Structure 1
Amino acid sequence: MAVLDLQEQEQVDAFKAWWKDNGKWLLIALALALGGFAAMQGWQFYKEKKMADASTLYAELEKQLASNDPKRINDAEQAVIDQYGSTAYAPRAALLAAQVNLQNKDVARAKSQLEWVIKHADETGLQNVARLKLASVLLDEKNYADALKLLDAKHADSFMGLYADLKGDVLHAQGKADEARAAYQLAFNKTDAQSKYRNLIQMKLDALGGAK
């Protein structure tokens, strides 16, 4: 196994810490933006009042995000789900609330919200994001078996790099260096060559001795 010098290890650790706290949640914003148009198309069959009311509740949740008050945010999220759980707003509300709860160490509630998205979201992109984040939480809890089950679930090719990278993290945590290396190599191959995230995957490969 290749040994990183102190400066390289510090860079790897710093990058991993930043990505864990921020990077993967950038996907949520992307998923929300990309899914917006499709969601609006689906809502043309709803009565105008229901559309307006659901939109209003979701807007209230977005407003509460600025307060960083978990109770107010969770109350707003629950209102969207209770009244408009069948709309595309509901899984988006649950994802946003889950992010806040994880940041505030309410892991149990965040896990419940992520599981709700996986079970109820009609859009596979949102399910993919929820599975990825829940697997990351399970990795932190050392629940490796359940994390791998989520990561082995069917997902869009556009998520392949992220899923493979996180799977590599789980396998590495289990001490399965060869399997982790293979997962990281897949993640590297599936990640855009211009992405800075690819550099992190390369660092992980290098730390395991590179591709074999």
Structure 2
Amino acid sequence: MVEEYLTDRDQEEALRNWWRENWTWILGGIVLGLVLLGGWQYWKVRTANTAAAAAKLYEDFRGALERNELEAANRSLGTLAADHATSPYTQQGRLLLAKKHVDEGKFDEAVPLLQSVANESSDAELAWVARLRVARLLIQQGKHDEALNLLDPEKAGAFAAQVREIRGDAQVAKGNPDAARAEYAAALTANIGGGADRMIDRSLLEMKLQDVGGDKKAPEPAANPAPAEGQP
């Protein structure tokens, strides 16, 4: 009985000693946990408020654009870009305003908006869509070399066929049928793949190739081979 009593006392003393040596670390851990939890909650609330503010500005912008109040639309989009530069709402707003300018033949006003999307969008596909539109407008403006310099087929990934087609259009506009022929043929070959490359009009591409002296089509996409006997 004495041995058990002494053992309990030893354990209690060891616990007190451990607490004296470690209480600051324990308390610090609790405080740190509360700070992190509070910070996470603050971040969630702030993110939600920021998204709501961006959505409100975007709706204001769209409403003004639909009413053809361009001054108000530009003002809302300017605030949206200044306060929410990385928001998808900013890029979508730029695309809508650029389309408005293109519809009205104001290419000089549309190009900077599209270039901003191409340069700043965190969505790689959206950035390429904007870049392709810029290139088409540059061709319309007679800036063929700028369009060619803007579109690098080696970096286009799934948009390679579209890039090649637009480069071919630029070469046609420059009066270089040989270069155009090479671009259109490369576009047809790239179009055999899947993804965004399938978005181009193959028949139109073949017509463009023939117009610049091409007389051969790129091979058609291979059909899926029939499974061998006994295979699923």
Global fold match (TM > 0.5): yes
Percent identical among aligned pairs is 28
The answer to whether residue 124 in structure 2 is matched with residue 124 in structure 1 is: yes
Q: What's 2:78 paired with?
A: 78
> Which protein shows a greater Rg?
2
* Aligned 8 A contact 1:70 1:100 in 2: no
Paired position in structure 2 for 1:63: 63
| Pair 44,127 (structure 1): closer, same or farther in 2 beyond 3 Å | farther
1:198 to 189, 196, 202: 202
Q: Structure 2: how far apart are the matches of 1:55 and 1:96? A: 15
CA contact (8 A) 1:98 1:113 kept: yes
2-side partners of 1:45 and 1:128: how far apart? 33
Q: TM-score, normalised by structure 2?
A: 0.64
TM-score, normalization: structure 1?
A: 0.69
CA drift of 1:170 comes to 0.5
Matched, 1:210 2:214: yes
Partner of 2:165: 165
Q: Which residue of 2 aligns with 1:175?
A: 175
Identify the residue that residue 94 of structure 1 maps to in structure 2: 94
Matched, 1:49 2:62: no
Gaps of 5+ in 2: 1-42, 217-232
Shift of 1:123: 1.8
State the superposition RMSD in angstroms.
2.7
Aligned to 1:8: none
Q: CA-to-partner distance for each residue in 1:123-153, whole Å, 9 max, x for gaps?
A: 2212211211111111112112111111127
Output the CA distance in 2 between the equivalents of 1:159 and 1:185: 15
How many correspondences in the alignment?
170
Q: Summarize deviations over 1:143-186 as a string: whole Å, max 9, x none.
A: 12111111127644221121111100001111211110111112
Q: Name the amino acid aligned to 2:206.
A: Q
| Partner residue, 1:28 | none
CA distance in 2, matches of 1:155, 1:74: 33
Cα 1:98–1:195 change in 2 (3 A) is closer
Aligned AA (1:123): D
Work out whether residues 168 and 183 of structure 1, in 8 Å CA contact, stay in contact via their aligned partners in 2.
yes
Aligned-partner Cα distance in 2 for 1:44–1:163: 40
The Cα offsets for residues 97-141 of structure 1, whole Å up to 9 and x where unpaired, read as 111112123222212212222222222212211211111111112
- The whole-number CA distance in structure 1 between the counterparts of 2:122 and 2:102 is 24
- Highest RCO, 1 vs 2 (Cα 8 Å, sep ≥ 6): 1
Give unmatched runs, 5+ long, in structure 1. Answer: 1-42
CA distance in 2 between counterparts of 1:162 and 1:46 reads: 40
CA contact (8 A) 1:136 1:147 kept: yes
CA 1:200 to 1:146, structure 2 compared with 1: closer, same or farther past 3 Å? same
Work out the CA distance in 1 between the residues paired with 2:88 and 2:46.
Answer: 12
Deviation at 1:54, TM superposition (A): 0.8
Secondary structure of the corresponding residue to residue 47 of structure 1: helix
